[in-house]
Amino acid sequence: MKLLITLFILILSSCAFATENRLGLGAMFGNPTGLSGKYWLDDNHAVDAGMGLSLGSGSNFSIHSDYLFHKEDFLYLNDVYPLDLYYGIGGRMAFSDSIEIGARVPVGVAYKFNDKLADLFTEIAPIADFIGRTGLELHLLVGSRYYF
């Protein structure tokens, strides 16, 4: 597990030198709770990654990554605060008694602060595990990231 954490940090930190303010690192809370990263490929596409612990009866460590499509200013909160809609597809691995591998389909909204150096997000991601313990699961997250 230490190897996975180290690899995750190295991959995300190597992207930080590629382009200004394209890499965001932060925290996510919910299922799972842990670290979150996002790298913007262009104005409408990004790749995210997360790792953390799923708390509750089925406690486990999981990692995920998704390719995301963004619709900027899709919704407005109180007619003042623009929210971006995002959706995508990705994969997830969970480690508990056995390894579980599945596909996830995240959908969420994000608020970018005026300077675009930070964001707040909330996300729902249905997961279909097809290796290990098969079945459906639902991730609900809120989080924030700071962009370098």
Question: What integer pLDDT is reported at residue 78 of this predicted model?
Answer: 72
E strand or H helix at 123? strand 118-131
Query: Domain spans of the chain?
Result: 2-147
pLDDT of residue 56: 63
Rounded-to-integer distance, Cα 79 and Cα 34, Å: 32
How many C-beta atoms surround the C-beta of residue 5 within 10 A?
A: 14
Question: pTM for the full model?
Answer: 0.81
The class (CATH top level) of 2-147 is mainly beta
Digit-coded pLDDT (tens) for 84-110: 999 999 999 999 888 999 999 999 999
SS3 43: coil
Residues of the chain with pLDDT under 50: 4, 7, 14-19
